[in-house]
Amino acid sequence: MANQVIRCKAAVAWEAGKPLSIEEIEVAPPKAHEVRIKILATAVCHTDAYTLSGADPEGCFPVILGHEGAGIVESVGEGVTKLKAGDTVIPLYIPQCGECKFCLNPKTNLCQKIRVTQGKGLMPDGTSRFTCKGKSVFHFMGTSTFSEYTVVADISVAKIDPSAPLDKVCLLGCGISTGYGAAVNTAKVEPGSTCAVFGLGGVGLAVIMGCKVAGASRIIGIDINKDKFAKAKEFGASECISPQDFSKSIQEVLIEMTDGGVDYSFECIGNVKVMRSALEAAHKGWGVSVVVGVAASGEEISTRPFQLVTGRTWKGTAFGGWKSVESVPKLVSEYMSKKIKVDEFVTGNLSFDQINQAFDLMHSGNSIRTILKM
């Protein structure tokens, strides 16, 4: 099918706030420096729901969502040299061109080569490769994995070990990598340190895993849903607490529990009030607090400047600080050698046609990640 339009199934979001619709779409062949991928497994993430809700300022409709996927390269466009048909890959929502000043700076992973067009739901040349019922359909985060076939920029693809189970490693396309990297790359958690993780969903569990791998001696999980505590402890949390069990603020509770505050705190919810709590729970003089959760458009964070003057550091992270093209294959290898958990994040498998059910499971708080088999 190289150089030909492929007809396949995709879950189209026609408008904000409405369920996804399984449609037959046309996927155009890849142009120069593009890759067409047959997606074999994908997962549903809160970021997909955030855009579908209409709260995302960059959200545009109709669109094919999805950014935690894995598959096989079907064909490549002109000028693609590092990938070929048959390669096993994970599409990346943060590319790595290797040439822009961001890629050349070891302090960041935020490649900007295609940021403008990606934010508009378009390929780098300003057009779409998706058509449905005669209408052009937007891309999402440069990946659009809720389709049996997708087209992505060649700098947005990680070539991985072909023996890796795609219905597991697809999760390394976002949530697990983000949380794990927040601990080991952004915070640089040190052996023997004390950590607090706010929000015990998939990303929060990955942060706990990262803190554990880094050698933290005490990891406190915080969530209002106590049903999540058992799983958090499986991932390495030493104890878990709910803010609703205390009459004082959660930061005051943590300061008392830890003799002055934690060495590292992580906000994995996207709630600006919790971001403040996480910062203020960090220890005076050296505490570091990392914002991992994505807040809604227009939200602002606040604290008293004295919190920073007295030695706390407020940081943010995107995709856990990983330089994507080079790092994701290494993360797959770490999973294959059992250094990091991935299987334990999967709470269920559904067919692609049941995608709206996967969203319902996520919103219910009863699932970490549901995998859709294409």
CA distances from 52 to 16, 55, 207, 212 (A): 5, 8, 26, 34
Would you state the structure tokens that stand for residue 242, as one six-digit string?
A: 């709910």
Cα torsion 49, 52, 57, 60 to 10°: value is: 140
**Residue type (1 letter), 153:** A
DSSP codes of every residue in 135-193:
EEEB-STTT--SBSEEEEEGGGEEE--TTS-HHHHGGGGTHHHHHHHIIIIII---TT-
**Rg for the chain, CA atoms, rounded:** 20
- Cα atoms found within 13 Å of the Cα of residue 121, Cβ hemisphere only: 19
Distance CA 145, CA 44 (A): 10
DSSP codes of every residue in 346-361:
EEEEEEGGGHHHHHHH
Helix (H) / strand (E) containing 68: strand 68-76
Omega before 30 cis (within 30°)? no
Distance CA 149, CA 167 (A): 16
Q: Which residues contact 231 (CB under 8 A, 6 or more apart)?
A: 200, 205, 368
Would you state the structure tokens that stand for residue 303, as one six-digit string?
A: 């604290």
Place of tokens 């004390």: 194
Q: Which residues are catalytic?
A: 45-47, 67-68, 97, 100, 103, 111, 115, 174, 369
